[in-house]
Structures are given as C-alpha cells and as structure tokens.
Amino acid sequence: MTHDDDATELAPLPFASARVLGAGLIGRLLALALARRGCRVDLYDAQGPDGAGAAARVAAAMLAPLAESAVAPPPVARMGRYALDRWPRLLAGLTTTAAPVFFQREGTLVLWHRQDAAEAERFARVVERTRGWIGDDLPPIRHLDAAGIVALEPALRGSRFAQGLYLAGEGQLDNRALLAALHAALVAQPNVTLHWHRPMAPDAIDPGAAERVIDCRGLGARPQWAALRGVRGEVIRVHAPDVALSRPTRLIHPRYPLYIAPKPEGVFVIGATEIESGDMSPMSVRSTLELLSAAYAVHSGFGEARILELATHCRPTLPDHLPSLRWHGPRVLQVNGLYRHGFLLAPALLAMTLELLATGESPLAARFGLDPMAATAARDAA
C-alpha cells in the first residue's frame, strides 16, 4: 500500500482555527494533526483526559482486516489494510511526548472446535478472497494442524484444537496507552486548548470563514444525526502472567467470535459480545460467564487469572456499518460511525478528513469504496 495521499494531507489549510468536538480516538488524532500544521485548535469533551467517555477506551485495538472481513463490509478491510502500514508512522510521531505505545504485527491465530469446522471453512474462504483484493503483499494464509498451532503458540500444547489458521501481518496496539500518548502530545502543543468536562454541540457554534468545526462525538452526535445508534460491546480485562500467548487469538463460535488480545505486563483483553442496544449498564452475569468460559477453553491458565475490569460501552453505528463524513451546514464536518472498528479505521478516517478539509474532496474515499457524495457535499458547503 503506497502513501500517495501524503501530499494532499500536507496541503495548506484554507482556515486558521478549528474546534474539534469529542476527544475520543479520532478527535484526538485530528486535533493533533491540525495543530501540527499550524492551526489553532480548541478540543472539547464531556469527560476528562483519560477518555472514560470514549468507546476507544473499551476496546481490544486489534488491527485485523482479514479476520474482520468475515463479518464486515469490504471497505472496512480496505481501510484496515491501510491502517497496518499507517499506524507505525502515526505512533512514531508520539515518541517525543510519551513512552512508546505497544504495537505489534505478529498476526492473528484463529482456532475452532471440531463441531465448528463448517463455519471455519466459510471463514477461511472469506479471508482468502479478502487477501486477494486488499493487497496480496500480505503473507499467505497458513492452515495449521495441531503441531503447527503449538509451533506458533507453545502455550497451547495439550489443547483440544486440531486445526487453525494463521493470518500473518495483522496487528494490535495498546488503546489506553495510545489515548494517554495523544493527550500528552496535545498538551505539548502551544496552539491547542483543551476543554475537559465541557460538552459542546455544533449548533452552539457559528464558525466564521477562517474556522472549521469537526464533530467527532460518536453517540453524542445523535441529536444532529438521527441514523446513529449504539451497539453495545463488552470486554473483560484480566491479569494472567502464567498465560504466554504472544498474539491475538480468535475462537470461531456459532454465536459469538471470541477474541483474546495479549497486552503488556500479562494483561489480556477478552471480548466477543455485540448487542443491539444503547444500554451502558454493567456487564451481565451471562456475558461474563460465557466470555470467561470460552477463554478458559482456549487456555486453562485463565482459570487462575485475576479479573481487573468488566467494561461495557456502546459503539456509534450507522445503518450500513460503515463510517461516514458529512457536512452539517457550512464549515461543520461530522465524522462518525466507526462502530466496532475504531482503531482499524482511524488512520483512513483521519486522512480522508484532512483531505476534505484541505481540498474539498477525498480521493481516498473512492479508493476505499465509500460513498463519494461526501466530497461533493464538501465542495457545495465551502
């Protein structure tokens, strides 16, 4: 994947100041990118700097375009392939203000029980097809037997898994460390003003010709974007220093696709549930038992893990499960709909947003297969 969009991203901005509403993942990335290009930036959020109100804080932050293609539309896989190359460059720009953010591209291991072999065959066909049209520079998909699984993850010796897939080149990062690093970078920018615990809606702002408003509030934007809905996600963070998995592991299951993502210092993020609901209440006993039981089935060492957190959040979702950029009146751009793929999509959404703000159009949107009307709307609203 080439980065011929860099020239557009660095094009002069036709405005001198910006107000970014919402300090989740995309809001922080965008505020920092604009500030580093000389723009005066005010960043508003209803919560504090730890990102407690952001869906990005409750995430596994896996970068798995092939694995996600089994349940996601094609543009998600295309944007995810872009993210694999883009994230290291974005993270490199944060090392001067914070400790390095954990990032790896050790691939994804996919496992299944014998009774789920038919679903595994379907999954394999989908990811093989996806690899063909998002970039065959990704390593070939490896089909593993029991010995191959153990060679890749010795900790699974003696497990009940006889077959698996290895999706080399996929990755992950540490979501909370990234949010903290972005906050540190924003604090270090003299042209950025941070407004914590201060919610702001675009209807309360009347930007002039030299200012833009970018609304990245996720579900907070529902009063201005009726199609948005919440899809509840639940994850469990555990400390399991005796479990030595070195890469994200996914378990194919007829009801939920479990994932186990290892983080630094023996921490694992376990998740799967996806519920059509805007409910932000604590995790149910049923969900907790299902997730922990499935994790224990992958590795019995999770039986001695210590539960650090049961976390829930609702991801902002549009009807087609794709992200969108649209103009909400002159000079107010809305960026939303990242759904369950925030970290997979964020680099592409950042680049497309910068294109629209700089030139009024986004060639990247067409490359990824998104609705090109956003570019037309941008020109009409300028």
Domains of the chain: residue spans and CATH: 6-57+175-226+319-381 (3.50.50.60), 108-168+229-316 (3.30.9.10)
Are 241 and 305 a contacting pair, CB within 8 Å? no
Distance (Å, whole) CA 187 – CA 190: 8
Share of the chain above pLDDT 70, in %: 93
Report how many helices (DSSP H) and strands (DSSP E) the chain contains, helices first.
Answer: 11, 17
- For residue 373, give Cα distances in angstroms to 82, 338, 370: 21, 18, 9
Share of the chain above pLDDT 90, in %: 79
Round to the nearest angstrom and report the end-to-end CA distance of the chain. Answer: 31
pLDDT digits (tens, 9 = 90+) for 128-160: 999 888 876 788 999 999 999 999 999 999 888
What average pLDDT does the segment 37-61 reach?
95
- What is the pLDDT at residue 9? 54
- What is the pLDDT at residue 10? 61
- What is the pLDDT at residue 274? 73
How does residue 7 score in pLDDT terms, banded at 50, 70 and 90? Answer: very low
**How would you class 285 by CB atoms within 10 Å of its CB: exposed for 0-12, middle for 13-18, buried for 19 or more?**
exposed
Q: Is the model more confident about 326 or about 372?
A: 326
What average pLDDT does the segment 77-93 reach?
95
